[in-house]
Amino acid sequence: MEFFNFHTHQFTNQPDILELVNQYPNEFDASIPFYSIGIHPWYIVEDRIDADLRIIEEKLQTKNCLAIGECGLDKRIEIPLEQQIIVFEKQLILAEKHKKPVVIHCVAAFQEVIEIKKKLKISVPMIIHGFSKNSQLANQLLAAGFYISFGKYLLKNPELKTVFQQIPNNRFLLETDTIEEGIQQVYNLAAEYKNITIKELQEIISSNFERIFRG
């Protein structure tokens, strides 16, 4: 593995990239080699929750399923936060049971996510994907034991440079999410911001991958 794409919705099947492809229980594609699977807060359907959770638990027991998610909380959607929390907590309990890391979608609900991690005493790695906020919030998340993944906003928002530079090397991952740019472009910018070579960055990410996914 030369490159690890922590979170993507597009499987590109390149030999030098390990892609953690986001999957949904009701649209599962068995041809994707490595994936995460979860109920995204946007796609919570009341009468499908239990069926989705059964599919997720079944997949979590396979070696190709590296993580649960993306799942989490989003205060900018119509689905009531109380319902989102119930679905999120059920997935965290599955993650803990099967010892799988969690890919987290979080919009305007970081304090709630931090509290839930604490309340449920979650010990598996929890990774906030697509981080776009300030150093103060990043430090809060790091102190609470989260990992942070960067991608789309790192490329699009130069103000994230100083936030990213301050993240300890053993606590971040890189991703493309839904953008058209490849993971190599994200690595190039990340290496430039950290003032290290691509090879050094690859070693950092490989080490973080081992810790999170092979723990």
- Domain boundary assignment for the chain: 3-214
Distance CA 203, CA 198 (A): 9
Whether residue 215 has pLDDT greater than 80: no
Residue 118 corresponds to which tokens in the numbers above? Answer: 């604490």
pTM (predicted TM-score): 0.97
- List, for residues 99-124, the tens digit of each pLDDT value: 999 999 999 999 999 999 999 999 99
Q: Of 123, 127, 81, 83, whose CA–CA distance to 104 is shortest?
A: 127
CB atoms within 10 A of CB 185: 15
Question: Strand, helix or coil at 197?
Answer: coil
pLDDT of residue 69: 97
- Which one-letter DSSP state was computed for residue 140? H
- List, for residues 153-194, the tens digit of each pLDDT value: 999 999 999 999 999 999 999 999 999 999 999 999 999 999
CB atoms within 10 A of CB 204: 19
Give phi and psi for 7, each to the nearest 5: -155, 115
Please check whether the domain covering 3-214 is classified as CATH 3.20.20.140. Answer: yes
CA dihedral 76, 27, 71, 11 (to 10 degrees): -100
CB 69 within 8 A of CB 91: yes
For the chain, what percent of residues have pLDDT higher than 70? 100
Distance CA 152, CA 181 (A): 9
Please count the residues of the chain: 215
